[in-house]
Structure formats: structure tokens, C-alpha cells
Amino acid sequence: MNAMTVPIANYVALSSVIFFIGVAGVLVRRNPLIMLMSIELMFNAANLLFVAFARAWLHNAGHVFAFLVITVAASEAAIALAIVVAVFRTAAHVDVDDVALMKG
């Protein structure tokens, strides 16, 4: 009962596929909101691995780390959405490629 019923490799495979779905979302989509949601997907894929390995090793550090990732994801979402609102509040057209103010 102590050992995991599902092998850890399954979790690694599932987590990588979710992560790469998120990568594809960031690369292909041009809606800044959907790009941000893809980033959340990637955060969650990483979190799933932390929790799965915490369970496999019966070690709390994975849980604490996943908790910190959730906090950072919340801050990131708040700041990124504030930027989206600040940039696109005045424009009728929302396109991430038009935001090149910081380009050298």
C-alpha cells in the first residue's frame, strides 16, 4: 500500500505532454490572454511532477515547492494581466506582435 500504484513514468509522460501543449499555445496563438493561459498550463505540468515525485519519495519538499509555484503563478498572472489591460485598453486590436516598445 505504501508504494505507488501508478508508475512514476506515467506521470512524467503526462506532465511533459501537458507542458508541451502549453509551449505550443505560447508559440502559435497570438491572443495574449490565451498565451497567458498556456503559461499557466506549463506551471501546472511542473506542479504535477513535484507532487508525483513527492509521493514517490514520501518527501514534503515537493509539496512546499508546488505551493511556492502556485504563489508565483498567481503573482505572474496578476502582473501579466495588468500589463495586458494597460497596453490594450486603448486599442481595438489586440496583437502581441505590436507590442515592441522595449525592442532595442
Partner 1 sequence: MILFWALAIVLLASAAWCITAKRPVYSVVALLLNFAALAAMYLTLNAEFLAVMQVIVYSGAILMLFLFVIALLSSGVAPFSVGPNRVPHIVYPTIVLVLVTLGSLTWALARTTITTPVSSPSGSTFGPPGTADVFGSVADFGKALFTTNLLAFEITALILLVAVIGVILLAGDQPASEPTKRRAEEVRREMREAILREGDR
Q: According to CB under 8 A, which residues from 73 to 102 bind partner 1?
A: 73-79, 81-86, 88-95, 97
Q: Is 46 an interacting residue with respect to partner 1 (CB under 8 A)?
A: no
Q: Is 39 an interacting residue with respect to partner 1 (CB under 8 A)?
A: no
Cα distances (angstroms) measured from residue 3 to each of 52, 53, 96: 12, 12, 47
H/E element, 95? none
- To partner 1, the closest distance from the beta carbon of 97 in angstroms equals 7
Q: Fill in the per-residue mask, 5 to 34: x = in contact with partner 1 (CB under 8 A), - = not in contact.
A: xxxxxx-xxx-xxx-xxxxxx-xxxxx-xx
Q: Which residue number, 27 or 102, has a Cβ lying nearer to partner 1?
A: 27
For residue 76, the SS3 value is helix
Q: Do 43 and 73 touch, CB atoms closer than 8 A?
A: yes
